[in-house]
Amino acid sequence: MSLEYGTLLSLLCLAAGYAFGNFLAAEVVARCLAGTGIRNIGNGRASMDNIKKNFGKNAMFAVAAGDILTTVLACWFCYRLAAPELEHTAILYGGIGVIAGHTWPVWLRHGGGRATVMVCTWLILYLPVTGLLCCLAGAVVTAGIGATWGCLLIPCLAVPVAWLQFGMQSGLAAFAAAILLFWQYRKDKACRKNP
């Protein structure tokens, strides 16, 4: 496989993942339960927190299930699209694309919600054992210190793990996921200070 063809396939996987990431489960739940878009509910953010505050835990779990399904479908599609050439790397690019699409959906001005569930799903698909261990470590920190620190720890732990398992490209992708989550939490914190 030539470098140009590999780069083209990688960009296609990023674009496909981004397209999948633009599907926001919070928008679907808001429309089903309130008959209006997420922009008109609570703080207007497409987040599980906003859905939970306005519709309860069952609705929040529906959003989480939708985010998991979106990530699985995006990674599966990218793997089917480019697996013979890119092999496991197709999941890498599809996952980063879906996280970016969830963070910056084309059609929602305020941006999407936090992509923590998507990051965990992607890590488990890409790094089955070690990704699961990173997510479990984040869950332990969440239980002990709080959700913000636990959710931010997950991609940070994944950076050296991905680097050691699959090389620099994987480590940089995990670093990009960490940057996206840090950006989301910083933005959420600013929104809470200036409603």
* pLDDT per residue as tens digits for the range 106-146: 876 656 666 788 888 999 999 999 999 999 999 999 888 87
* Per-residue confidence band for 65, with pLDDT thresholds at 50, 70 and 90: very high
The boundaries of the domain holding residue 162 are: 3-23+71-193
- What's the pLDDT score for residue 47? 81
Contact present, 103 and 112 (Cβ < 8 Å):
yes
Residue 131 lies in a domain: yes
Statement: residue 68 has pLDDT above 90: yes
Residue 35 lies in a domain: no
- What's the pLDDT score for residue 84? 82
The span from the first CA to the last CA of the chain, in angstroms, equals 51
**How many structural domains does the chain have?**
1
Statement: residue 3 has pLDDT above 70: yes
Residue 33 lies in a domain: no
Residue 57 lies in a domain: no
The mean per-residue pLDDT over the stretch 146-168 comes to 89
In the chain, % of residues over pLDDT 70: 91
The mean per-residue pLDDT over the stretch 35-51 comes to 86
Backbone angles phi, psi at 46, to 5 degrees: -85, 65
- What's the pLDDT score for residue 109? 63
Contact present, 185 and 114 (Cβ < 8 Å):
yes
- Cα four-point dihedral sign 122, 6, 169, 148: negative
Closest CA to 45 of 24, 23, 70, 66: 24
Residue 118 lies in a domain: yes
Residue 48 lies in a domain: no
Here the tokens at position 104 are 């910056």
- What's the pLDDT score for residue 188? 63
- What's the pLDDT score for residue 194? 47
Statement: residue 157 has pLDDT above 50: yes
Give the chain's mean pLDDT: 87
Report the interhelical angle of 48-55 vs 25-34 (nearest 10°): 20
Q: 166 vs 46, which has greater pLDDT? A: 166
The mean per-residue pLDDT over the stretch 83-104 comes to 88
- What's the pLDDT score for residue 187? 66
The pTM of this model reads: 0.87
Residue 115 lies in a domain: yes
Residue 81 lies in a domain: yes
